[in-house]
Amino acid sequence: MTINDMTIRIGGAAGDGVESSGAGFCQALVRGGLHIFGLPDYHSRIRGGHNFFSIRISDQPLYSHDERVHLLLALTEETIPRHQNAVVEGSAIVYDSSQIANSEWQIANGLLLPIPLSEMAKDKAGTELARNTVALGVAIGLTGFDLEPVEGVIRQNFARKGQAVVDGNLAAVEAGYREGQKRAADFPFKLQGRLDAPPRMVLNGNEAFALGALAGGCRFVAGYPMTPGSPVLEWMAGHATRYGVVTVQVEDEIAAACAVVGAAHAGARAMAPTSGGGFCLMVEALGLAGMTETPIVVYEAQRPGPSTGLATRTEQGDLWFVLHASHGEFPRIVLAPGTIEQAFETGWRAFNLAERYQCPVIVLADHFLATSLRDVPPEALDFDQVIIDRGGLLSDVELDGLTEEYRRYAFTENGISPRVIPGHPKGVYSATSDEHDEHGHIEEDADNRRRMMAKRMRKLEEARKKMRSPTLYGPQKAEVTFIGWGSTYGPLREAVDRLNAQGEQANMLHLTDLWPFPAEPTAQVLAAAKKIIAVENNYSGQMADLMRMTTGHQISGRILKYDGRPLSPEYILKNVKL
């Protein structure tokens, strides 16, 4: 039978090409007209450990992974016991009989297929490293998927390594394909693609955000490598020459944040990508940006802490941290995209908000959103909607027309003072980390301090007007309302769909704009909801506590996950009590 929703999982050790083969197969599946959600899972080591890549495949758009596995490709013996319980009845386990001894593994009404993947790779490609390619060929043969899109991806991905490598991998995938075809009649789950399907892009959250930032005029990026935020730096570096972006890998995150403050002060749209541990080092410079009212963007892709924590896992544990990072009080804006489309929009919108309100903007992603692959049509990333709003930035013409001395930190009703790019003779001013007067000169007068603090903080009330209200997915009236933020969108959306399909009544309130908190529209939904359950990837339910603080609503129902792995629809449904 043709199945419209199945998961293929390939597992092995670091160095076995698990992630590269999984990502390449995602590209091929989409080129063949199917939809995918790709989820990598890897240890924080160069070689060894157990890595796997799950590819959920459907003829309908997907927003989350699925814990159930229909075809397991085992490159190492460790893979089978780790994932055997996830394999559903009637499925198949393919394992490398060249390296894995025959054992007593069992699968209910399914197939256990020993195939000499390593030997076939050595024979066809001249190296055992190509056994991941052979394994994908077996998967294609078993499922009946077309070989052509896979061959196209192989040609593209291996072209830089020379024709001999391309030809070797083509031979390897075809050999696996033929082997899979031999047992295809015994494997019930099939994939039927469409080679005439419209083109779609395959992106992860990091790539989508970086693309949005580039479209939004980001021209300076400084960072120090830290999973999972550093791929944004790498992506920008890869496109730097073509688009005129200065990218700098500095000696540490302190230097990165200071460099970004300097570049933004000089007029560039500047960003620092990092993770929670790196953001810890940036908080003093964040305060500098707050005091000097310099518009910077920090992309903070969360992972579990404290300290190094789980370096290649996911969590939503930094919300309260970024809300209060750095000493003292100053305005900042916090955004948390939940989808590929939202990550793209946040990429350019963050710079508009930073410059309009002359304050730091922190974008909270996480490992799940940053690294998961999803396909989207090109129009989903709407470049026509990209707006570059530089706020109260005075032009040279406006500076030429000044009849009085320029005051960088002038007291204004909305708290936003006129900003200039240094260099104009009428736009000279002092910028200091100390408290200062309207001209930027150090000032310790108590009255000035009160007025300057109030001026800066008024910007939060202005920014609140531009914060997006939370979105409600599902029926307007429901017996249970789930609360989520950031990357929980996909798993929650599917959990809501499954519950409603079963005859239950459920919906989801999802937030992307977290600070200044959209208290009024959130409170309206909470007041009308019957049963409320917060769903978060952290230990304490940080969003639930933030909602109580800002709206007064106590959210007692909580589904929390803090083992470093992402939420899934199955996990939510297993833990919900209706």
> For 141-154, what is each residue's pLDDT tens digit?
999 999 999 999 99
Torsion of CA 155, 156, 159, 165, to 10 degrees: -40
The pLDDT tens digits of the residues spanning 228-245 come to 999 999 999 999 999 999
Alpha-carbon distance 187 to 110, whole Å?
8
3-state SS, one letter per residue, for 387-426: CCCCCCECCHHHHHCCCCCCCCCCCCCCCCCCECCCCCCC
Contact by Cβ (8 Å): 561, 338: no
Residue 103 has pLDDT above 70, yes or no: no
For 526, the token pair is 């909470």
Contact by Cβ (8 Å): 559, 576: yes
What's residue 3's pLDDT?
61
Superfamily of domain 5-197: Pyruvate-ferredoxin oxidoreductase, PFOR, domain III (3.40.920.10)
CA 406 from centroid of its chain's CA atoms: 42
If residue 319 lies in a helix (H) or strand (E), which one and from where to where?
helix 319-324
Stated pTM of the model? 0.96
Residue 1 has pLDDT above 50, yes or no: no
Rg of the chain (C-alpha set): 26
Residue 494 has pLDDT above 80, yes or no: yes
Residue 108 has pLDDT above 80, yes or no: no
CA 108 from centroid of its chain's CA atoms: 36
Q: Residue 305 — φ and ψ, nearest 5°?
A: -120, -160
Mean pLDDT value of segment 192-206: 92
Burial tier of 528 (Cβ tally within 10 Å: 0-12, 13-18, 19+): exposed
122: Cβ–Cβ under 8 A, 6 or more apart, which residues? 128
At 336 the three-state DSSP class reads coil
Average pLDDT along the chain: 95
Residues 134, 138, 142: CA angle, nearest 5 degrees: 170
What's residue 175's pLDDT?
97
Percentage of the chain beyond pLDDT 90 is 93
Q: Looking at per-residue confidence, does 321 or 105 come out higher?
A: 321
What's residue 196's pLDDT?
85
For 311, the token pair is 């370096």
Contact by Cβ (8 Å): 70, 6: yes
Closest CA to 331 of 302, 366, 292: 292
Residues 260, 467, 477: CA angle, nearest 5 degrees: 140
Terminal CA-CA length for the chain: 34
Residue 2 has pLDDT above 60, yes or no: no
Is domain 471-575 annotated with CATH 3.40.50.920?
Answer: yes
Residue 556 has pLDDT above 90, yes or no: no
The pLDDT tens digits of the residues spanning 20-48 come to 999 999 999 999 999 999 999 998 877 77
- DSSP letter at 468 equals P
Contact by Cβ (8 Å): 344, 208: yes
Contact by Cβ (8 Å): 361, 395: no
Residues 544, 212, 29: CA angle, nearest 5 degrees: 90
The reply to whether domains 5-197 and 471-575 share a CATH topology is no
Closest CA to 191 of 132, 141, 136, 138: 141
DSSP state string for 198-241: PP-EEE-HHHHHHHHHHHTTEEEEEE---TTTHHHHHHHHHTHH
CA atoms within a 13 Å half-sphere pointing along the CA-CB vector of 370 = 28
Residue 248 has pLDDT above 90, yes or no: yes
Q: Give the count of beta carbons closer than 10 Å to the beta carbon of residue 537.
A: 29
Mean pLDDT value of segment 496-512: 97
The pLDDT confidence band at residue 109, using thresholds 50, 70 and 90, is confident
CA distances from 441 to 266, 357, 409, 427, 444 (A): 19, 21, 10, 14, 10
Side chain identity at residue 518, one-letter code: P
Alpha-carbon distance 196 to 42, whole Å?
34
Closest CA to 12 of 118, 169, 138, 102: 118
The pLDDT confidence band at residue 569, using thresholds 50, 70 and 90, is very high
Burial tier of 553 (Cβ tally within 10 Å: 0-12, 13-18, 19+): middle
Residue 202 has pLDDT above 90, yes or no: yes
What's residue 65's pLDDT?
97
Mean pLDDT value of segment 519-536: 96
DSSP state string for 143-211: HT--SHHHHHHHHHHHGGG-HHHHHHHHHHHHHHHHHHHHTGGG---B----TTSPP-EEE-HHHHHHH
The fold for domain 203-385 equals Rossmann fold (3.40.50)
Domain ranges of the chain: 5-197, 203-385, 471-575
Side chain identity at residue 223, one-letter code: G
Mean pLDDT value of segment 385-411: 95
Percentage of the chain beyond pLDDT 70 is 99
Mean pLDDT value of segment 455-477: 96
At 432 the three-state DSSP class reads coil
CA distances from 273 to 257, 288, 302, 362, 501 (A): 9, 18, 11, 10, 40
Cis peptide before 228, with omega less than 30 degrees from 0? yes
Alpha-carbon distance 509 to 578, whole Å?
17
Residues 467, 436, 417: CA angle, nearest 5 degrees: 40
